[in-house]
Amino acid sequence: MVEIIIAAGIKVIFVLAAVLTGCAYATYMERKVVGHLQHRIGPSYAGPYGLLQPIADAVKLMFKEDIVPDKVERATFALAPLVSFIPALLTFAVVPFGKDNTVFGYDVKMVLSDLNIGILFVFAITSLGVYGIVLAGWSSGSKYSLMGGIRSSAQMISYEVSYGLSIIGVLLIANTLSLRELVEQQASDSIWFFSNWFIFKQPLGCLLYVTCAIAETNRLPFDLPEAESELVAGYHTEYSSMRFAMFFIGEYANMIAVSAVGATLFCGGWQGPFVNEIPFIGIFWLALKVFVFMFVYIWLRGTLPRFRYDQLMNFGWKVLLPLALLNTMVTGLFVVMGWF
């Protein structure tokens, strides 16, 4: 019993540390990649190649004055960053990051919690994140923040449906909700290690998932809640110091989370060459796939202009939703006919 608790504790600490470090270095990666896209070199002063920049940022934010404006709803104002930050981290509880193996004679499952409804858990939890944004916008007592919050909730409604429908195809094919089983079904022993990835059976589903995930994480071209050139900073205009940092880390944790789930659903999760010979290499494969997803996000941010509020709604309801429904229907037909 004690052993189970200790093992779980070690895993939690390991995952939490990995995710938080990942968030910190996601900001570094974003600044470097966008910098190079824009003929700049990005951060380069703190440490070699600017590698200590995230630490410098963290220290700076911690020592900043925590300003709470007069007219805020204090309790909600304090709660909102947490509501936005914590669900982003909770997602990682069900993402498997390697092949089960034996360490020091113990069987270790390389996942914090092997829920049989894992994917439902992911969607339930990530949807909570938007409450943080809405509450922040409402409690700030600023019109810009309020508009950011309203935009976010409207965006949420338009995208959550397509977001959910985009993965139905995969679930129909795999016939399971457990992320661990999803990954195992994508294994392949042949030289074409990626041949069983669901992205090849669900290309449209993957595209829809990525698009909705961008809207879900409030990134360009769907970053309306914080549209800098319009709403100053949107919902977090009035936040400073560590409260702001929590929104910031929450956003990156969310990006990593949707990337990890996307990689698990469509690109085989931790599957890759040599996973049977060297079990721990699964972590590396998963990280690599997350990295590719993240790069696409950052690449889009460096290239595209922002949608307008009404255009975003139109796009969500009139383009994404019908496509997602179509994808579900066609996949259903294929499954019934036994063509997969």
Partner 1 sequence: MSAGKTVTLNMGPQHPSTHGVLRVVLELDGERVIKATPVIGYLHTGIEKTMESKLYYKALPATDRMDYLSPMSNNLGYCLAVEKLMDIDVPEKVKWARVCLAELTRIKSHLVWLGTHALDLGAMSMLLYAFRERESIVDIYEACGGQRMMTSYIRIGGLAHELPRDFDKLVRKALKQIPQGVKDYEDLLTANEIFIRRTRDVAVISAGDAIDYSLSGPMLRGSGVNYDVRKANPYSGYENFDFQIPLGKKGDAYDRYLIRVEEIKQSLRIIQQAIDGMPEGPYRAHIPGVVLPPKEDILYKMESMIFHFKIITEGFKAPCGSVYQAVEAPKGELGFYIAGDGTNKPNRVRVRPPSFINLASLPKLVEGGLFSDVVCAIGSVDIVLGEVDR
Provide the b/e sequence for 303-321 (b: ≥16 CB within 10 Å). Answer: eeebbebeebbebbeeebb
Q: How far is the CB of 305 from partner 1 (least distance, A)?
A: 4
Q: Nearest CA to 115 among 172, 168, 177?
A: 177
Residue 292: other Cβ atoms inside 10 A:
12
Q: How far is the CB of 276 from partner 1 (least distance, A)?
A: 43
Helical residues (DSSP H) of the chain, grouped into ranges: 2-37, 53-63, 74-90, 118-139, 143-166, 168-174, 179-185, 203-216, 228-231, 241-266, 281-303, 309-314, 321-337
- Token output for 327: 């994808």
Q: CA 332 to CA 326: how far, in whole Å?
A: 10
- Which residue lies nearer to partner 1 by CB, 152 or 202? 152
Q: How far is the CB of 73 from partner 1 (least distance, A)?
A: 18
Q: How far is the CB of 337 from partner 1 (least distance, A)?
A: 36
Residue 18: burial class (beta carbons within 10 Å; 0-12, 13-18, 19+): middle
- Which residue lies nearer to partner 1 by CB, 7 or 150? 150
Q: How far is the CB of 62 from partner 1 (least distance, A)?
A: 26
- Which residue lies nearer to partner 1 by CB, 109 or 301? 301
Q: How far is the CB of 70 from partner 1 (least distance, A)?
A: 17
Q: How far is the CB of 40 from partner 1 (least distance, A)?
A: 7
Radius of gyration of the chain (CA): 21
CB 96 within 8 A of CB 183: yes
Q: Which stretches of the chain bind partner 1, using CB under 8 A? A: 34, 37-40, 143-144, 147, 220-221, 223, 227-230, 232, 301-311
User: In sequence order, which residues have a C-beta less than 8 Å from that of residue 310 and are 6 or more positions away?
Assistant: none
- Residues 223/229/235/239 CA torsion (nearest 10 deg): 130
- Which residue lies nearer to partner 1 by CB, 265 or 323? 323
CB 308 within 8 A of CB 145: no
- Which residue lies nearer to partner 1 by CB, 221 or 268? 221
Q: CA 50 to CA 329: how far, in whole Å?
A: 49
Q: How far is the CB of 31 from partner 1 (least distance, A)?
A: 12
- Which residue lies nearer to partner 1 by CB, 85 or 159? 159
- Which residue lies nearer to partner 1 by CB, 123 or 309? 309
